[in-house]
Chains A and B, each alone.
Chain A
Amino acid sequence: MTSSGSHRVIAYALLLCALASTLVPLLPAAEELPVRKHHLVHGLVLALSAAAGYLFARERQARQPHQELQGEGWLYFTVLMPVLSMFLMWPTTYDWLEHHPLAHGGEHLCFVVLGFMATYSGERYMPGVGVMSGVATVLSAIVAAFGFGSGLSV
């Protein structure tokens, strides 16, 4: 298998794993998570989908190396994806989502789309930018786990 082909297989595998997370809340055995763990799970979903987005973009670039890569629209997506993902990390919605599995799965699907697009659009705009965008998106979820939704009530 060529390098490009193996990238594609890995990309599909990562994307499938990320998409599988949308089904987890629907399972009867799904357990309720504290806010911190919930943020971390989102970080994992974002990481998987971001990695898939990166590989898809690179694979596309390998197939069409001479294509003009820059495009303003991609830049707006690159910036807005991490921003939107933060609004999805609203901690007090987690309780409600735990009791509404379909909505919960939908929320995870949103994270998959946002993580994927953060890196894919960044790489489409300019190779290297997607990496930064993806890292920033995943980091924001991980960092959120340590204080967004936990701590003092004032």
Chain B
Amino acid sequence: MLKDAEMIAARRLMWAYVVTGLAVLGLMVLAGVVLRATQANWIALDPGRFYALMTLHGAGMIVAMATSGMGILWYLLRHQTVLSERIAWTSYALIVAAVVAVLVSVVAGRFGAAWTILYPLPFVGATWPGWATGAFLVGYALFTVGWLLWCVQMLGGVLRLYGGFRGALGVDYVFRPHVFAVQKGRPPTPISLAALVAGVDGVLTGVAGMLIGTALLAHLLDANVRLDPLWAKNITYFFGHALANLTIYLAVAAVYVGLPYYTGREYKSSPPLVVAWWGTLLFVAIAYFHHLYMDFVQVRVLQYIGEAASYLAALPVAVVTVFGALTLIYRSKMRWTMGSLFIFAGLIGWIVGGIGAVLDATVPFNLDLHNTLWVPAHFHTYLLEGVLLFVIGWAFMMLEKASQSVTPVIVLWLTGLGVFGGGAVFLMGFYVAGALGVPRRYAVEPPPGPEIASWATIGALLLVCGLLVALFDAVRLARAPRAP
């Protein structure tokens, strides 16, 4: 149990992460609307600026989602064990510095090699100065060090709580349940499992990120440093895919806490839940191979591993977490407020986006869908209509708890129509265009890209309106008198 002062400090830190993440995310949403409007030929943006904005949008979104989720998970684990606020603030400062470096690179230097900085793209035919590439890489390095600090701290916290990996993984809880019960062992909680996965996979991801970042920086400073493009792509996607995936698992902590709050039921640990998280621990790290199906020189067995891991990664999500959430909700007389609505809708977005991802990870489909707008379709679904909604749902839950006030029904409807209705129209634009083979990452799209982008932009604007309504309501709740 935290003392009052500790609780206040932890809450301040959590809000700093969450609000910073949401603020960056809000800006990136606006950047995204501009990108889509450009593809719809509504506004004229020269290609150089388009690709710079696209780079900023991609990098900013991932960092924003990760930052928000880091704040939530840190706060929840802080309730279970001792964590250093100073380290968490250091990590936060490094991430903010990283955002500034990336902004300088993209806005002033017009760096436009996409957030994946896939070698040799940043160095061949670049329309931006070398220092812009350097600033971007420095930004990545700052983020990665901040991320590593956070991950190691979370890992240390979980290991302290359970006395080592065996306890944290719940090995005895799964394989020796009777002995475990007699010894009155403490099963891993959903929060500690999420923190463990973030800690272990996060360290591996961070080190991979530093490795490719160092290699690219070395090449920038000394062109004689050669890199193997296939090697660079493997490391880049191991880092990028796992980081994007982990943002979901950070934010899913909000589901484990939010749904019990609204349903009045406990989200219990169970051996299937623990085993599911073991699966997540493994599959987050090895599913990235599906990004390299088109690379004929990639070792073939890795392609099979990629496809199998992509399918298997869906099981823990769909069968355990989401099914568990639904059983929690079923006949629970759940209170439908802004917070619960966002968290529940986020589960839908996670599943729909996950299905889109698994389809794309299936080799015969990938032959047609690879590098089409299907790719942003699926990740926008589980990030924009999944992770973001978990984070917003969490923020509303905290505000509702503090104010003991709820949102009027009309505001719920307006938000729902904007965020979910507008969001659905926006996402359908990606899915339909992707299925029709419209390529992604192009400032100018072939038909029917611009036409589809037009109604997708309308959907995006509706989505922005819904988010603004939610923002106004959040401000109202924040200003409401505190609950006793």
Contact = CB atoms under 8 A, between A and B. Distances in A.
A122 B152 CA distance: 9
Interface string A138-154: 01100110111111111
Nearest to A71: B84
B229 interface: yes
B419 interface: no
A95 to B, nearest CB: 10
Interface stretch (A12-20, A44-52, A100-108, A126-134): A126-134
Contact of A151 (B223, B224, B227, B235): B227
A139 B210 CA distance: 12
A148 B231 contact: yes
B123 to A, nearest CB: 6
A147 B218 contact: no
Given A132-B203, A147-B232, A70 B148 contact: no
B346 to A, nearest CB: 30
Nearest to A128: B159
A77 to B, nearest CB: 10
B87 interface: yes
Given A128-B164, A129-B152, A75 B87 contact: yes
A132 B200 contact: yes
Interface stretch (A2-10, A23-31, A86-94): A86-94
Given A75-B156, A82-B207, A151-B228, A128 B145 contact: no
Nearest to B164: A128
Contacts of A87: 214
Contacts of B228: 146-147, 150-152
Contacts of A72: 84, 86-87
B91 to A, nearest CB: 10
A42 to B, nearest CB: 13
B225 A86 contact: no
Contact of A126 (B149, B160, B230): B160
B153 A151 contact: no
Contacts of B203: 132-133, 136
Nearest to B162: A128
B82 interface: yes
Interface residues on A, range: 35 or more
Contact of B211 (A125, A143, A149): A143
B323 interface: no
A126 B159 contact: yes
A78 interface: yes
A149 B226 contact: yes
A146 B230 CA distance: 10
B124 interface: yes
A151 B226 contact: yes
Given A72-B87, A147-B228, A152-B120, A90 B218 contact: yes
B211 A129 contact: no
A51 to B, nearest CB: 18
B159 A86 contact: no
A82 B152 CA distance: 13
A70 B218 CA distance: 35
A122 to B, nearest CB: 8
**Most chain-B CB neighbours within 10 Å: which of A122, A129, A148, A153?**
A148
B226 A82 contact: no
Contacts of A109: none
A70 B204 CA distance: 22
B225 A75 contact: no
Given A72-B84, A72-B86, A149 B230 contact: no
A89 B222 CA distance: 13
A97 interface: no
**Most chain-A CB neighbours within 10 Å: which of B87, B156, B210, B222?**
B156
A143 B227 CA distance: 12
Given A72-B87, A147-B227, A152-B229, A136 B204 contact: yes
B224 A92 contact: yes
Contacts of A136: 203-204, 207
B102 interface: no
B152 A75 contact: yes
B165 interface: yes
A123 to B, nearest CB: 11
B211 A148 contact: yes
B155 interface: yes
Contacts of A41: none
Contacts of B155: 126, 128-129, 132
**Most chain-B CB neighbours within 10 Å: which of A89, A91, A144?**
A91
Interface of A: 70, 72, 75-76, 78-80, 82-83, 86-87, 89-92, 122, 125-129, 132-133, 136-137, 139-140, 143-144, 146-154
The 10 A-B pairs with the shortest beta carbon distances in the complex, nearest first, are: A147-B231, A151-B228, A147-B228, A126-B156, A154-B120, A136-B207, A128-B159, A86-B214, A79-B148, A148-B215
20 contacts: A70-B156, A72-B84, A75-B156, A76-B149, A89-B214, A91-B226, A92-B225, A128-B159, A132-B199, A136-B207, A137-B207, A140-B207, A143-B235, A146-B231, A147-B215, A147-B228, A147-B235, A149-B226, A150-B228, A151-B231
